């Protein structure tokens, strides 16, 4: 039977509906989503590895050392800088602020005051920030998966619990199974010489269970992955449309999580994860709040970008200075900002309310 192939072929001007090249399913557009959203994990991994290997192979040891240390410093500052990027969304968006006025006013004052007044609360908050950051990073990946579901027209509650389990284990599983777990647990050493000094022994105690923890993490990873496949299979039989962008997000995030946490030194893994996490967040805030910020500043986008990016970077530099300083109390507002950032993100973005 003859077919009119030319009339069916998808072109750049008319991409296949639902494909990665379909602009209606993207957040910023096919190419930019591939760079700063679903493809950001792979881009960050390749960028970090190429930078490390390139300088190690092509430059004298001293020059390579400076370049590599510089990369880690830039990524650290960028990571701290993105924490304050939540402000335009939480406080500049009138709808968001009105919906959460009490949380956005009383809680910050109470938290900062507590961390200033209580040294042990500051230590506990700094340890909490390490582990909350892990969960927060997993939830950002979950959020992008849900946004792509929304853009594909899927109901907001469909597969939500499945995605929560899947995105958590895609990120936490390889971390718990690799050497990075010990690095995260070392944060408990901060409790030494405090009233909770017993907690400083947690890393040493858990070190004796490394094999069991690794086995449990791998088993949980396998169970959740198979569980998700079965849930998706059932949903698709009932009419669920699996978005290509969501698949790309899950594959990209899962692959980089395994590669980074499982096969690179913890400091490199942290650099990769923090880099793509910050890039995704900056891009999301700008695409959702950039227009509002620009309008508030007289319609001049260049000036708005300078204030936004410049203010965030200055905060990142201040955070770095506080981290390297000898006066611990100066860390209080920055640790508070970390916790508030993680907490705010749990309610100022909502796919169910189409508040993204």
What pLDDT, in 10s, does the model give residues 8-40?
A: 444 445 566 678 999 999 999 999 999 999 999
What's the rounded Cα separation, in Å, for the pair 343 and 173? 22
* pLDDT (mean) for 159-179: 93
In the predicted model, is pLDDT for residue 350 greater than 80?
Answer: no
The neighbour count for residue 23, using CB atoms within 10 Å, is: 12
**How many angstroms separate the CA atoms of 143 and 229, rounded?**
19
Cα–Cα distance for residue pair 216/234, rounded to 1 Å: 27
Question: What pTM did the predictor assign?
Answer: 0.90
Residues 248-307 have pLDDT tens digits of: 999 999 999 999 999 999 999 999 999 999 999 999 999 999 999 999 888 888 899 999
Q: How many CB atoms lie within 10 A of CB 305?
A: 15
pLDDT in tens, 59-99: 788 888 999 999 999 999 999 999 999 999 999 999 999 99
Rounded alpha-carbon distances, angstroms, from residue 317 to 85, 192, 308, 320, 322 = 14, 28, 14, 5, 9
pLDDT single digits (tens) 195-237: 999 999 999 999 888 899 999 999 999 999 999 999 999 999 9
- Least confident range of 101-105, 189-193, 257-261: 189-193
- Residue 63's pLDDT is 85
Q: How far is CA 205 from CA 21, 199, 310, in A?
A: 50, 10, 44
Percent residues over pLDDT 70 in the chain: 92
Confidence of residue 108 (pLDDT cuts 50, 70, 90): very high
Segment 340-351 mean pLDDT: 91
Residues 6+ apart with CB under 8 A from 57: none
Contact yes or no for 176/280 (Cβ under 8 A): no
Residue 41 has pLDDT above 60, yes or no: yes
* CB within 8 Å of 246: residues ≥ 6 apart: 145, 148, 149, 152
Question: In the prediction, which pLDDT does 353 show?
Answer: 62
What is the arithmetic mean of pLDDT over 147-161? 92
Q: What is the pLDDT of residue 355?
A: 57
pLDDT tens, position by position, 303-338: 999 999 999 999 999 999 998 876 667 899 999 999
What would the mean pLDDT of 141-156 be, rounded to a whole number? 92
Of the pLDDT bands very low, low, confident and very high (cuts 50, 70, 90), residue 1 is: very low
What percent of the chain lies above the pLDDT cut of 90?
79
Mean pLDDT of the chain, nearest integer: 90
């Amino acid at each position: 039977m003859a077919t009119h192939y030319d009339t069916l072929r998808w072109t750049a001007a008319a991409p296949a509906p639902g494909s990665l090249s379909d602009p209606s399913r993207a957040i910023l557009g096919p190419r930019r989503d591939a760079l700063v959203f679903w493809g950001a994990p792979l881009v960050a991994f390749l960028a970090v590895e190429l930078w490390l290997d390139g300088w190690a192979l092509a430059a004298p040891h001293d020059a390579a050392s400076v370049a590599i240390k510089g990369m880690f410093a830039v990524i650290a500052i960028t990571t701290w800088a993105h924490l304050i990027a939540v402000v335009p969304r939480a406080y500049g968006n009138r709808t968001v602020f009105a919906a959460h006025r009490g949380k956005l006013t009383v809680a910050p004052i109470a938290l900062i005051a507590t961390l200033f007044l209580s040294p042990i609360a500051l230590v506990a908050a700094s340890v909490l920030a390490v582990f909350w950051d892990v969960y927060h990073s997993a939830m950002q990946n979950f959020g992008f998966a849900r946004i792509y579901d929304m853009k594909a027209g899927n109901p907001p509650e469909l597969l939500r619990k499945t995605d929560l389990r899947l995105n958590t284990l895609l990120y936490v599983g390889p971390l718990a199974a690799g050497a990075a777990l010990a690095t995260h647990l070392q944060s408990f050493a901060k409790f030494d010489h405090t009233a909770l000094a017993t907690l400083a022994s947690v890393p040493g105690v858990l070190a004796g269970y490394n094999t069991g923890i690794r086995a449990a993490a791998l088993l949980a990873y396998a169970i959740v992955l198979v569980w998700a496949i079965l849930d998706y299979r059932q949903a698709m039989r009932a009419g669920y449309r699996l978005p290509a962008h969501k698949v790309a997000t899950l594959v990209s995030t899962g692959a980089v999580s395994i590669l980074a946490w499982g096969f690179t030194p913890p400091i490199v893994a942290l650099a990769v994860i923090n880099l793509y996490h910050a890039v995704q967040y900056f891009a999301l805030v700008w695409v959702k709040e950039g227009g509002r910020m620009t309008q508030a500043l007289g319609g001049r986008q260049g000036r708005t970008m300078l204030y936004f990016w410049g203010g965030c970077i200055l905060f990142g530099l201040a955070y770095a200075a506080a981290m390297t300083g000898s006066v611990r109390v100066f860390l209080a507002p920055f640790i508070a900002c970390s916790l508030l950032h993680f907490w705010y993100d749990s309610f100022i973005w909502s796919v169910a309310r189409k508040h993204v």
